[in-house]
Amino acid sequence: MDFTQISGKRQLAFMQDFDYIREAGTEAEQRAAERIAEEIRSLGLTPETEEFTFDTYEITEAGFAVTSPYQKEYTVTGYLGSGSTPEGGVEAPFLYAENGDDISLSYASGKIVMVNAPVRADMYEKLEKAGAAGFLSICGSPIDSGEDLKPALCTLRKVEQPAIQGACIHCTDAVRIVEEGASRARLTLSQRKVTRTSRNVRVRIQGTDRAEEILTLTAHFDSVPAGPGAYDNMAGAAIIMELCRYFAANRPRRTLEFIWFGAEEKGLKGSLAYVEAHREELKRHRFNMNVDLAGQLVGGTVIGLTGDASICSMLSWLAHEAGMGTGFVNGIWGSDSNTFAWNGIPAMTLNRDGFGMHTRHDTLALISPWSLERSARLLGYIAEHLSETEVFPFVQEIPEDMKKKLDEYFGQM
Ligand SMILES: [Zn+2]
């Protein structure tokens, strides 16, 4: 690969046009999709935009008040997907159960229970089994001030028809509630299911003499509602755009398809819609190269590879050849690559550790052209080699243990 054709500065300039929150299903996300399509056209290629719908929740009311031995309202955010309390809320004794261990939860019956970490399906099950009347989870840090005192938005995933509702509270308030000896509280939550439209943008660079075989380069371009998602994941979107530019000028033997996914943050909705829409063609897919979390300077590069362990060794060889340090994890990875692996296609996510994911601090200010350039070169090197080999070298079968984990991961999503 001719590394001089890859520019970090150009990627950063492209990212400047996306310095806003791009929550899936909003006009802002649509605007971002249109800008991506425009960039593809500027490369002399023809983009295709594929719409899909997904269900999400809209919270209309979320409240938490201590009712005894004093009365005070606190700011909370409701858990999306945890249902609605009866009108007027649930009033019950209050319990702080730390990490939700069995001893603490033995006191939970009939109570509104506060735990430290965000409540996921496994903790939710424990709370429901313990007979909790509702739950609170603690977020933020004690050194937060100003806007950061607003609790994060949480989603309860993989729980069908939840019986108890929950909310998230900032830790400074959580500290006060415990120290002031709150013994009773009221939790109010009201939400409704809504259907939204999102879209993927894709473009195909037809291979020269191995065109039947398809390799995908993918990145999501939506962000969480908290911040403009520069690191997560407009940087990834810029990296694959840079590679799209490169391969448009340097035609590969195998077909390369570039896909910018919408609604990843809503549960990989974009990639799930893609495999649904292109199901008959999936047997032509050989490998998915996804980028999620990229572009910050201080950090380490890790490739999460879902597929046979021998693929890790081959990718490691390519990284050595390219001379760029990379760690490897052979397992499932919480991004759109999982969707491909779940559909039998070996997949990787190029990830760079960094700061501020899913917060308002995830801005362009922390993005480095050096880092963008490095990641694009590494991924481009891998993609180019894989598109050129005479016989595609990867074992196509996903190992049984990973299949099982993927089934669990996608369980009731
Ligand atoms: Zn992401």
Residues in the chain where the model's pLDDT stays below 50: none
CA of 327 relative to ligand 1 center, distance in Å: 19
CB distance 39 to 51 below 8 Å: no
- Residue 260 Cα to ligand 1 midpoint, Å, equals 12
**Given this model, what pLDDT does residue 160 score?**
87
| Ligand 1 centroid from CA 19, angstroms | 16
Q: In this predicted structure, what is the pLDDT of residue 370?
A: 98
Per-residue model confidence as pLDDT tens digits over 106-145: 999 999 999 999 999 999 999 999 999 999 999 999 999 9
C-alpha 224 to ligand 1 mean position (Å)? 9
How remote is the CA of residue 232 from the centroid of ligand 1, in Å? 4
Distance in Å, CA 318 to ligand 1 centroid: 25
Contact (Cβ atoms closer than 8 angstroms) between residue 183 and residue 68:
yes
Residue 52 CB partners (closer than 8 Å, separation 6+): 197, 198, 199, 200, 262, 263, 269, 270, 273, 277
* C-beta separation of 160 from 134 below 8 A: no
Confidence at residue 412, expressed as pLDDT on a 0 to 100 scale: 53
Q: How far is the CA of 223 from the centre of ligand 1 (A)?
A: 7
Distance 220 CA to ligand 1 centre (A): 7
Q: How far apart are CA 93 and CA 133, in angstroms?
A: 9
Q: How far is the CA of 293 from the centre of ligand 1 (A)?
A: 6
Q: What's the gap in Å between 219 CA and the centre of ligand 1? A: 8
Pairing mode of beta strands 210-220, 254-261 = parallel
Q: What per-residue confidence (pLDDT) applies to 176?
A: 97
Q: What is the pLDDT of residue 413?
A: 56
Q: How far is the CA of 20 from the centre of ligand 1 (A)?
A: 15
Specify the DSSP element, H or E, that contains 290: strand 285-291
CA of 319 to the centre of ligand 1 (A): 23
Q: Which domains does the chain have, with CATH numbers?
A: 3-55+196-410 (3.40.630.10), 70-182 (3.50.30.30)
For residue 297, the CA-to-ligand 1 centroid distance in Å is 17
Q: How many helices (H) and strands (E) does the chain have?
A: 11, 15
How far, in Å, is the centroid of ligand 1 from the Cα of 217? 15
- In sequence order, what are the beta bridge partners of 114? 96, 136
- At residue 152, the pLDDT reads 87
Residue 348 CA to ligand 1 center (angstroms) comes to 14
Looking at the DSSP assignment, which residues form a beta bridge with residue 50?
200
Both tokens of 329, joined, read 């994890």
Helix (H, G, I), strand (E, B) or coil at 270: helix
Residue with tokens 């019950």: 92
CA of 333 to the centre of ligand 1 (A): 11
Q: How far is the CA of 235 from the centre of ligand 1 (A)?
A: 10
Distance CA 23, CA 198 (A): 10
Contact assessment for residue 261 and residue 320, using Cβ atoms and an 8 Å cutoff: no
